[in-house]
Amino acid sequence: MKRALVVIDVQESFRQLPRWRAVSTADIVERTVRLVEARRAQGDLVVWVLHAEPGSGTPFDPPSGHVRLIEPLTPLPGEPVITKTSRNAFTTTNLQQILTQHGVGTLMISGIQTEQCCETTARLAADLGYDVEFVTEATATFPIPHRDRGPAATDADWDAILADPRTLGTDAVIERTEYALAGRFARIVSLDELTATG
């Protein structure tokens, strides 16, 4: 069975949010470039996923112009680019059809956010029968405000969020994701492992 790298939501929308300054992996674009180039060289399919929230008036609303890959990320001709409106990359797209058409049995998951769209996609992929490799080092996330801050917390003042001792830091978010996925839904793989040559 073939392998596919699924690059999730490495898009300009995130760079427009106040929380971008607290991103866990400031060089996520460079890491993504490295991973994509290595997997292309191995002949793997690369699938690009974007997230859209039509009518939201946010940077994820297509009219904002930000629902696009962060430069210099560029799909090659023949590499699918799909847009989702759900957390996982399957439910609102034709991703499974694309993977089936290409005979893919193993998915490598990377992108933004580690514990949301990436983890959710990994879980669903495993349930659908794919072998999943989760490339944590090629994912990025943000601190998570305590639930008591309410639904507007992600748009609140980030100085206050970062100063709040109840805020879950990115290291803890990433650790919890790996604990939840490993041995159940995915194998955790390193960036070096997937970009090694020879």
pLDDT in tens, 79-122: 999 999 999 999 999 999 999 999 999 999 999 999 999 999 99
For the stretch 162-179, pLDDT in tens is 899 999 999 999 999 999
Domains in the chain, number: 1
DSSP secondary structure letter of residue 20: G
pLDDT score for 146? 86
Range of the domain at 86: 2-195
Model-level pTM? 0.95
User: CA-CA distances (angstroms) from residue 63 to 20, 108, 182, 185, 195?
Assistant: 21, 30, 38, 35, 36
pLDDT score for 151? 58
Q: What CATH number does residue 38 fall under? A: 3.40.50.850
User: CA-CA distances (angstroms) from residue 26 to 8, 23, 29, 187?
Assistant: 16, 6, 8, 24
DSSP secondary structure letter of residue 56: S
Dist. CA 67–CA 162, nearest whole Å: 27
Percent of the chain whose pLDDT exceeds 90: 87
